[in-house]
Every structure is written in structure tokens, then in C-alpha cells.
Amino acid sequence: MSEQSNENGKPHKPRIVCALSKTELPRNAVVNLATVMPSLVARIRRDHPDLADEAYIARSELDRYRGLYVAELLRDESGDLSQIETQVARSMATHETLAENIEDELGAKRTLGERLSDALADFGGSWSFLIVFAAFISGWMLLNAYQHQVAFDPYPYILLNLILSTIAAVQAPIIMMSQKRQETKDRLRSLNDYRVNLKAELEIRHLHEKIDHLINKQWQRLAEIQELQLEKLMEKRK
């Protein structure tokens, strides 16, 4: 650790040399290796076997090795990494947020035809459509059944049957297009949930391991302090 003074005589903030890159960095840009979880330290020591236990390494280097460690962990558990698992490993190294708003993303990319199909599918599955449709059919049948002078489609309403068949033939693919977009949305939402859950699981696992490591280190220090106190008490009794 080094401390220098600037032109005004005020001391600079202490800078620490990274044990991996050998560059001087501010104190808040480095991490003591003793506070890093053992499994990650073991991964770093595979490339740097001479690394001291109390060495300082840059946070950027630690993030890079964390990404490598997660990628190797996922590869050992599930074989070859999928694209999603690769994204999760990279996000843990770069602290990138994986949660996405699928609704806004897909809503902004909808074409005019997709917007129209969604609107028609929503209207076709509503009570408004049923009421309008029932009123239309009832009016058509009443007009052609009781107004013989103006009847343009007398019983058995051949033209009405043709119109209903056409509506059904057009409505079916429109609903299928809307359902296909909904399936795409559900698939993207499930993939996003999988990415977020996988990252959360790995983060929680690392957090537990780090907490256990810190607790063990704290117990070791408390035991050392207790041994020193006992030695002093023994010396005073002598």
C-alpha cells in the first residue's frame, strides 16, 4: 500500500497494487483475497498458484474469474453451456441485470397486422361481440321473416349462412395468429424467468458460501484473540 502527496501537500487516497495485473488501484477498486469465497480463490489459484492468502486483487479481475467460475460450474453440472447459461455467467461477471419487461419489448415491435389481429381477437372473445352478433342475426332474421316486401334473404337465409361461414373462416386464422403471438410471448417470458431464477440461485449459493467463509475467518480470529488473552493471564499469574 502506498500513499503520496499532491501539489497542495494533501495526501492522495492510498493505492494498492493488484496481485494479478500488478497495477496500482484505489482502495475501493481492490478486494482482499481473504474475504473471497474459497471455491473462487481455488479457481484463481489455478492460474496464479503463487498468490498469497492476504493478497489484493482488482474487482474487475475478480468479476472476470467469477464469470469463468460460474461457466465452469454450469458446464460441470449440465454439460455444454446453452446460450441462456452463457448469458447468466456473463451477467454475473459484468453485474448485468437480466430481468426484462417482455410486454413492453414485444408491444413496441408489433406490426400493423399483428396489432389488428390482436384487436380483432380481443373483440371476438368479448361480450360486446356476442351482443352485437346476436343483435345482428336477430335483426336480419326478423327483417327477412316479417317484411316480405323488403326481404332480400328469405327463409332459410342462404345469404346469412354465407356471411356467417365467411366470418368464421376469417375469424379462425385471426385468432390463431393472436394465439401464436401469445405463445411466443409466454415462451420469452419463461426463458426470462429461467435466466433470472438461475442467476438468483447461483448468487444465493455464492452468498451462502461467502458468509460461511467469513464466519469461519471470524471464529479463527476470535480464537486467536482468546489464546492471546489466556497467555497474558498465565504470564500475570507467574
pLDDT in tens, 100-116: 666 666 666 777 877 88
Single-letter amino acid, residue 129? F
Rounded mean pLDDT, 82-102: 69
Rounded mean pLDDT, 211-229: 71
- pLDDT per position as a tens digit, 164-179: 899 888 888 888 888 8
What does the mean pLDDT of the chain come to?
77
Task: Label residue 2 by pLDDT band (50, 70, 90).
Answer: very low
User: How many whole angstroms separate alpha carbon 174 and alpha carbon 126?
Assistant: 15
DSSP per-residue codes, the chain: -B--B-TTSPBPPPEEE-TTT--EEEGGGEEEGGGS-HHHHHHHHHH-TT--TT-EEEHHHHHHHHHHHHHHHHHHHHSSPPHHHHHHHHHHHHT------HHHHHHHT--HHHHHHHHHHHHHTSHHHHHHHHHHHHHHHHHHHH-TTT-SS-TTTHHHHHHHHHHHHHHHHHHHHHHHHHHHHHHHHHHHHHHHHHHHHHHHHHHHHHHHHHHHHHHHHHHHHHHHHHHHHHHHH-
Beta strands 56-58; 30-32: pairing state: antiparallel
Q: Which residues pair with 30 in a beta bridge?
A: 58
User: How many whole angstroms separate alpha carbon 151 and alpha carbon 148?
Assistant: 5
Q: Name the residue with higher pLDDT: 92 or 201.
A: 201
- pLDDT per position as a tens digit, 12-47: 567 888 888 888 888 888 888 877 777 788 888 888
* Range picked from 51-55, 88-92, 96-100 for highest mean pLDDT: 51-55
What's the pTM?
Answer: 0.49
